[in-house]
């Protein structure tokens, strides 16, 4: 279970749909980029919704999503990191856009997934997706960190102190920028989000 300020991330169809839609879109974009030899410096993937993390490689984005999903569905209680909070926000925003732009494609994607939905995929889904992360008691520190990049160190520290942003919580955001490959156990962390066939496909894509 994943908690944000002691509140658990709801285990609902919306959470599942947001994670599944964001994973699928990012994986699909990665496949297309490799097929057409896309500019390696072009940013894409669901985490581009978070300015500071927009340059994270797509395969690492998928790995981060898998890690957050696993912490969400496992029996142990995990306090959400800033990475987890960023993944949840970006997944909800990405899925909301997909619901607005192509609801039929999203419905088909969810129909092919390993979980059966209780609620129907219909109008209003985009608003429900956005409300999911807005309802969480989340400060959104991951959204403001990019503002500190161009500031002198002393001024940046002062602003972080005023906003009550803990330096140690920011370290993992910087660490992610240096990652390039997925971590061991990637496939097993996708259980419940992807079918076995989809997991095999994802493993093949990220290992290429």
Residue 208 in any domain: the answer is no
Q: Output the pLDDT for position 40.
A: 56
Residue 37 in any domain: the answer is yes
CA distances from 65 to 87, 90, 158, 179 (A): 6, 10, 32, 14
Q: Output DSSP code: residue 133.
A: H
Answer whether residue 203 shows pLDDT above 90: yes
Q: How far apart are CA 38 and CA 43, in angstroms?
A: 10
Answer whether residue 156 shows pLDDT above 60: no
Q: How far apart are CA 29 and CA 27, in angstroms?
A: 5
Phi, psi of 44 (to 5 degrees): -155, 170
- Percentage with pLDDT > 70 across the chain: 82
pLDDT 10s digits, 70-128: 999 999 999 999 999 999 999 999 999 999 998 889 989 999 999 988 666 676 788 88
Q: Output the pLDDT for position 148.
A: 59
pLDDT 10s digits, 15-51: 999 999 999 999 999 999 888 876 656 789 999 999 9
Total number of domains constituting the chain: 1
pLDDT averaged over every residue in the chain: 87
Residue 142 in any domain: the answer is yes
Query: Looking at residues 182-190, what average pLDDT do you find?
Result: 97
Q: Output the pLDDT for position 174.
A: 85
Decide: helix, strand or coil at residue 136: coil
Domain containing residue 69 = 2-203
Residue 115 in any domain: the answer is yes
Q: Output the pLDDT for position 65.
A: 99
Residue 112 in any domain: the answer is yes
What is the residue-wise DSSP string for 6-38?
Answer: TEEPP-SHHHHHHHHHHHHHHHHHHHHHHHTT-
Residue 47 in any domain: the answer is yes
The answer to whether 129 and 14 are in contact (CB under 8 A) is yes
The answer to whether 46 and 22 are in contact (CB under 8 A) is yes
């Amino acid at each position: 279970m994943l908690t944000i300020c002691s509140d658990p991330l709801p285990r609902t169809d919306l959470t599942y749909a947001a994670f599944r839609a964001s994973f699928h879109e990012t994986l699909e974009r990665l496949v297309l980029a490799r097929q057409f030899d896309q500019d390696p410096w072009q940013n894409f993937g669901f985490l581009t919704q978070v300015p500071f993390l927009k340059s994270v490689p797509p395969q690492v984005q998928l790995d981060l999503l898998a890690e957050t999903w696993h912490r969400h569905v496992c029996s142990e209680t995990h306090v959400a990191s800033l990475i987890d909070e960023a993944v949840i926000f970006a997944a909800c925003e990405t899925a909301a856009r997909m619901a607005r732009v192509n609801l039929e494609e999203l419905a088909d994607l969810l129909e092919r997934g390993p979980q059966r939905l209780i609620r129907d995929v219909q109008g209003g889904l985009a608003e429900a997706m956005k409300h999911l992360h807005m309802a969480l008691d989340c400060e959104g520190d991951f959204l403001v960190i990019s503002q500190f990049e161009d500031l002198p160190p002393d001024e940046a520290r002062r602003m972080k102190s005023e906003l009550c942003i803990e330096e140690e919580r920011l370290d993992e955001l910087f660490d992610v920028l240096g990652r390039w490959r997925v971590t061991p156990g990637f496939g097993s962390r996708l259980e419940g989000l992807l079918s076995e066939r989809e997991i095999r496909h994802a493993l093949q894509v990220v290992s290429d």
